[in-house]
Amino acid sequence: MGAITPVGNGAKAFWENLIAGQCGVDRITLFDSSGLPCRIGAEIKNFCITDHIPPKLARETDRFMHFALVTAAEALNGSGLQVGSADPYRVGVVFGTSAGGLTTVTDAQTNFMSKARYRVNPHFMSKMLPNLAAGHIAIRHGFKGPSLTIATACATGTDVVGIAMSILQTGAADVILAGASDSLYCQLVFAGLCSARAMSTRNDEPAKASRPFDRQRDGMVMGEGAGTVVLETLDHARRRNAPIWGELIGYANCGDGFHAMAPQPDGKGEIYCMREALTGAGLGPQEIDYINAHGTSTPQGDRVETLAIKEVFGPRAYQIPVSSIKGATGHMIAAAGIIELIASLKAINQSIIPPTINYDEPDPECDLNYVPNHARHLSINTVMSNSFGFGGQNASIVVRKI
């Protein structure tokens, strides 16, 4: 697994800072936010792309691609997979992003209009196309197997894993690099989300702004970053004595068919999705030890997810630890689900549940066991991780210890 997150670069640093309760939210530095209602975000820190790839490639690629390339390399290195010894047509890449190189587009448009001449960077197209994160990973490592790019908004990071699993199950590949990356830090995106009243405006307390399930939550905080995992069939992994972090046993995806920006108030889509993931895993509600929640810190989203969990898990919902890491990372949009899968796998292997930070005042409508503010030591065998996105995109995944 590989991770670039607002609380740490590299899967190890991310996990250690996450369970220590650190927060990656601060004032925005990547653009001038002075005229916006929201002037805070969870940016990637201490990151220099030329420490990882040649300067020429860095200039020819967008920031979201930088994150993708670095996390893919980390995941490959950790997997022990010898790229040269693997059949390149049996190794694929399934990657996701919400909007690709959108900041490249907005910057180019600004420059184009200000100079009033027909001249753009010759690498403009390859920097902005969403599929070029997967493309550059494949090019850099010589992979020639199945290649797909997924865009299901905030559910993307979970969907790439589920789709990669399906490809492996068909026998079309032995190994898939599955991941997602986003960097949407520009005035246009922030202005749009502010207009939609999706963003927190707690500008005077950045580290307290993202507060999933807390009564005083007032909206999401934008994050950025990427995550990648190496998925392979169990037989293939065992033949090469691969280090195995967990087994993917269930996945489901469905749509609300309700609204472009709001979840269905009765949570029916989320309920169906979680139940289908359990069915696919061959498990009952009593067999889930921990739920890594979507938990974006929006008033309606957190309420609906809580309602859905209670409907699926019944009385046991109050006993299962449920936490959201977005208090620490902000909402990494497309990358959220894959980073939360990494957190879930770390939780299984280290018997530690990451906390929901900034949970200070209970909400009567959000009344589950949210692991407030401090990590919890607990033996964990099976985890469900949820991702629910704009457009009613629902995705749930189930992983277990192996």
Please report the pLDDT score of residue 163 as a whole number.
98
Least confident residue range of 83-87, 309-313, 342-346, 390-394: 83-87
Go through the domains of the chain in sequence order and give each one's CATH number. Answer: 2-239 (3.40.47.10), 247-400 (3.40.47.10)
Strand order across the beta sheet in which 225-232 lies: 8-9, 2-5, 225-232, 175-182, 91-96, 147-150
Cα–Cα distance between 58 and 361 in angstroms, integer? 44
DSSP per-residue codes, 334-387: GGHHHHHHHHHHHHHHHTEEPPBTT--S-BTTB-S---BSS-EE---SEEEEEE
Residue labelled with tokens 């299901």: 152
Please report the pLDDT score of residue 319 as a whole number.
97
Please report the pLDDT score of residue 84 as a whole number.
80
Structure tokens at 99: 């909007």
Average predicted confidence (pLDDT) for the chain: 96
Please report the pLDDT score of residue 297 as a whole number.
98
Is the pTM higher than 0.85? The answer reads yes
What value does the mean pLDDT take over residues 356-375?
98
Instruction: Give the model confidence (pLDDT) of 255-295 as tens digits.
Output: 999 999 899 999 999 999 999 999 999 999 999 999 999 99
In angstroms, the Cα distances linking 17 to 41, 189, 361, 374 are 18, 28, 23, 12
What value does the mean pLDDT take over residues 346-359?
98
Cα–Cα distance between 324 and 396 in angstroms, integer? 14
**Residue 82 pLDDT greater than 90, yes or no:** no
Phi first, then psi, for residue 61 (nearest 5°) are: -130, 155
Please report the pLDDT score of residue 350 as a whole number.
97
**Residue 202 pLDDT greater than 70, yes or no:** yes
Instruction: Give the model confidence (pLDDT) of 231-260 as tens digits.
Output: 999 999 999 999 999 999 999 999 999 999
- Give the active site residues: 154, 294, 331
Please report the pLDDT score of residue 164 as a whole number.
98
Inter-residue contact 245 to 392 (CB < 8 Å): no
Q: Please write down the long-range contacts of 76-82, taking CB distance under 8 Å and 24 or more positions apart.
A: 76/2, 76/141, 76/177, 76/230, 78/1, 78/2, 78/11, 78/230, 78/243, 79/230, 79/242, 79/243, 80/240, 80/241, 80/242, 80/243, 81/175, 81/230, 81/240, 81/242
What value does the mean pLDDT take over residues 185-199?
96
DSSP secondary structure code for residue 203 in this structure: T
DSSP secondary structure code for residue 195 in this structure: H
Please report the pLDDT score of residue 223 as a whole number.
98
Structure tokens at 123: 């690498």
Q: In the structure, what pLDDT confidence band is assigned to residue 112 with cuts at 50, 70 and 90?
A: confident
For residue 96, how many C-alpha atoms fall within 13 Å in the half-sphere facing its CB? 30
Please report the pLDDT score of residue 210 as a whole number.
98
Q: Which of 117, 113, 93 is nearest to 181 (CA)?
A: 93
Q: Which of 333, 359, 69, 297 is nearest to 223 (CA)?
A: 333
Please report the pLDDT score of residue 113 as a whole number.
84
Cα–Cα distance between 143 and 139 in angstroms, integer? 7
Cα–Cα distance between 195 and 188 in angstroms, integer? 11
**Residue 10 pLDDT greater than 90, yes or no:** yes
Cα–Cα distance between 116 and 71 in angstroms, integer? 38
Inter-residue contact 311 to 267 (CB < 8 Å): yes
Instruction: Give the model confidence (pLDDT) of 297-343 as tens digits.
Output: 999 999 999 999 999 999 999 999 999 999 999 999 999 999 999 99
**Residue 69 pLDDT greater than 80, yes or no:** yes
**Residue 92 pLDDT greater than 80, yes or no:** yes
Please report the pLDDT score of residue 384 as a whole number.
98
Inter-residue contact 145 to 90 (CB < 8 Å): yes
Please report the pLDDT score of residue 117 as a whole number.
66
Q: In the structure, what pLDDT confidence band is assigned to residue 120 with cuts at 50, 70 and 90?
A: confident
Q: Percent of the chain beyond pLDDT 90?
A: 95
State whether residue 174 is helix, strand or coil.
coil
Q: Which of 185, 227, 221 is nearest to 336 (CA)?
A: 227
What value does the mean pLDDT take over residues 83-107?
94
Please report the pLDDT score of residue 116 as a whole number.
66
Torsion of CA 312, 215, 324, 207, to 10 degrees: 170
